[in-house]
Structure 1
């Protein structure tokens, strides 16, 4: 039955208790413009066993240090395996995470079948689906790590649309009867994690409920779609490029396999699956946060460029007296703004603006402004773009070069619009939302072998 919902109970590698003090580390794609964060992590971890030694923070991708760091990662993986750092057990894990903002976010650690995931095709959508556009240029640098790795510990958060809370939430009541696998604080004030071994009968219940969601008739009635519409069961909420990298690595492994051995490979190779954390989109601990933009090295002011593109009369601009007022206006634009326009916040120098531009064919404000930022006429006007969690970080990065760095503040997307939007439009614009701020992201704990 588990095969029908494309999941697997994984063989986990957990660090033994004596090696856990500095083990969990935040997702490698966070704090990409804040080297001071990763320096603080290095200082705290030192030479202790840690996931820090098994990941490449994306701050260092395509840097002079990258190749040497990858070699160190592969060496550390082998050393940890040889020195008995890990204990192995086959189980799904019920996870509870506390952050600065929420007392509990629930999840289930499991593995998903990469054969049921396709980040390329919009014409034949897969049951496991990205929620945003996959930037294929971001995959090769990550493949340089994955292709040589002995183990994985992805930071992928996958969502299910379960408003009745029948899949994950019952585990909260059952946890007192489960074996506790770990229970510890996270570094640098990021909260707490606690993991429990899910017994087989509870896994069976989860599979049964997932099968119900996957039923075509249930899907068609729930989302009011035409018969035959491809069913979306799992939506990638975070770590899309990590999952895409795992998929590409698996495709490469298959391509290199002799045809006569492919059937056996498909049945036995661990890289066919990728470990993820499954969460209910309606979990109270999941908060959708907007992902803001910071443009570095800006040559032409964004307002000027927008007016040149759309015409001055089409671009509505209102100055706000503070960041707080700007955020309020972004989340609740004035009723005087026409329905055919999308609004966002713009920070240039010390000034805060609410800007409204034509929506075009974009259903969300992020789509309208991102399309322009990626356009041939404006992309040469800045040297770099970064995607930022948290208003305070946006302000900090602008102040590094207040004459040439600008910030774009975007509204949050509602939870109940995610699945319907992905089903209807295939995917959201790049970096539309985040499930929490940077230090609320998944902390690596469980590992899994991806070589035979």
Structure 2
């Protein structure tokens, strides 16, 4: 059995306003609740994926009530026939404020072949170390949800960029499913229906013998889907495993070498912190590279290792140890320099730590040699370039 299957994708019916329907991934702008407050005002009470997700900026704000409301809305949307079903892949063309074109393919992957734990072998691997405590809150959201909405981006080692590019060259022969401007300055989104999926599946399977696909964005969300499936399996006879919708997760597949794919660092911000954080980093790091740290109205420069993977790993180890000794300090992971500077400016006792950028050609060699990257090592694009929720899929029978 293949590790890729053709999903039955749910899209909003034509009468629904797509600009209000699609919203950005829930794990963005986590320290900027004003973004989500503005989005809430924009979508109002019309059908929108905003009502089907829990923005992580609100994780500490009545999460149980919010999850119950999300599940209620999902059931309501299904009962009121707000979706149309397409058994196909979807070719996605995304324009962002920073790139003119990024191509992807919405597919479903077999969670039996996905592994996020170190040492376990699978045809689909996490790129970053998952944090166990980040999984249970996501499981709570998913375990009773009738549908899933994906913001997971999966990368394939398609050096010639032939699979998705060839589909795009022939897009005029495909049925266009949507074409609209994204809200909150997210750019533009187009989707084309791909029904000849068996040939594409074979092409993807032929790419590599040792590592077929790696997860670029959404590692913790996919790990949560895996946990939910493992829990469901315990209550099912094995004969029913292959037909259960929760076994398969909807993701967007992108070539690692797509010109529209950018690798951005994920910065750190520490709240309730002071100059001692900077001194601790200075005393424990060395190297020929420099990175900036923002505190109050000052910018500090410290030396770090030239290898960005090593720099990220050493910085995170130091920060974890420092936070363990200073329980009042909280950490957040921030996408984009503008957001980092804004957060530090608006929060008096905060320290913003920039992180080095990675190069895509270093990614697969590092994973093959070391298994996974340090957690929160990189981001595929800036926050505003993240995946918008458009497609969905049933995960409960």
**TM-score when normalising by structure 1:** 0.84
Q: Which has the larger radius of gyration?
A: 1
Aligned twin of 1:54:
52
User: Are the aligned partners of 1:105 and 1:286 in contact in 2 as well (CA < 8 Å)?
Assistant: yes
In 2, Cα distance between equivalents of 1:195 and 1:11: 15
User: Are the aligned partners of 1:161 and 1:280 in contact in 2 as well (CA < 8 Å)?
Assistant: yes
Shift of 1:363: 4.3
User: Are the aligned partners of 1:344 and 1:365 in contact in 2 as well (CA < 8 Å)?
Assistant: no
Match of 1:262 among 238, 242, 247: 238
Match of 1:240 among 214, 219, 225: 219
Number of equivalent positions: 396
Match of 2:344 among 393, 398, 411: 398
Match of 2:28 among 14, 18, 30: 30
- The runs of 5 or more residues in structure 2 that have no matched partner are none
Moved over 3 A (4+): 376-379
In 1, Cα distance between equivalents of 2:280 and 2:170: 57
In 2, Cα distance between equivalents of 1:49 and 1:362: 43
In 2, Cα distance between equivalents of 1:273 and 1:405: 41
More displaced, 343-352 or 239-248? Answer: 343-352
Shift of 1:60: 1.5
User: Are the aligned partners of 1:343 and 1:365 in contact in 2 as well (CA < 8 Å)?
Assistant: no
Matches within 5 A, 1:1-20: 3-4=1-2, 6-20=3-17
Shift of 1:344: 2.5
Aligned twin of 2:300:
353
Cα deviation 1:20-52 (Å, max 9, x = unaligned): 331101001011111111111111111110101
Shift of 1:13: 1.1
Aligned twin of 1:228:
none
Aligned twin of 1:142:
138
- Confirm or deny that 1:252 pairs with 2:228: no
Cα deviation 1:413-451 (Å, max 9, x = unaligned): 001111111111111111111011111100011111001
| Secondary structure class of the residue paired with 1:183 | strand
User: Are the aligned partners of 1:362 and 1:368 in contact in 2 as well (CA < 8 Å)?
Assistant: no
Matches within 5 A, 1:283-302: 283-299=258-274, 301-302=276-277
Cα deviation 1:143-169 (Å, max 9, x = unaligned): 111011000011000000111112211
User: Are the aligned partners of 1:298 and 1:381 in contact in 2 as well (CA < 8 Å)?
Assistant: no
Cα deviation 1:247-274 (Å, max 9, x = unaligned): 00000001223xxx2222x121000000
In 2, Cα distance between equivalents of 1:392 and 1:376: 26
Aligned twin of 1:275:
250
Match of 1:161 among 134, 144, 157: 157
| Secondary structure class of the residue paired with 1:141 | helix
Shift of 1:381: 6.7
User: Are the aligned partners of 2:309 and 2:374 in contact in 1 as well (CA < 8 Å)?
Assistant: no
In 1, Cα distance between equivalents of 2:371 and 2:10: 35
Cα deviation 1:198-223 (Å, max 9, x = unaligned): 131xx233223212213x3xxxxxxx
Aligned twin of 1:212:
206
Shift of 1:412: 0.8
Aligned twin of 2:362:
417
Aligned Cα root-mean-square deviation (Å)? 1.8
User: Are the aligned partners of 1:389 and 1:438 in contact in 2 as well (CA < 8 Å)?
Assistant: yes
Match of 1:69 among 66, 74, 77: 66
In 2, Cα distance between equivalents of 1:358 and 1:91: 46
In 2, Cα distance between equivalents of 1:20 and 1:197: 20
Matches within 5 A, 1:68-147: 68-120=65-117, 122-147=118-143
Cα deviation 1:219-257 (Å, max 9, x = unaligned): xxxxxxxxxxxx111110001111001000000001223
**TM-score when normalising by structure 2:** 0.95
Aligned twin of 1:436:
381
Cα deviation 1:113-136 (Å, max 9, x = unaligned): 00001212x323311101000111
User: Are the aligned partners of 2:308 and 2:358 in contact in 1 as well (CA < 8 Å)?
Assistant: no
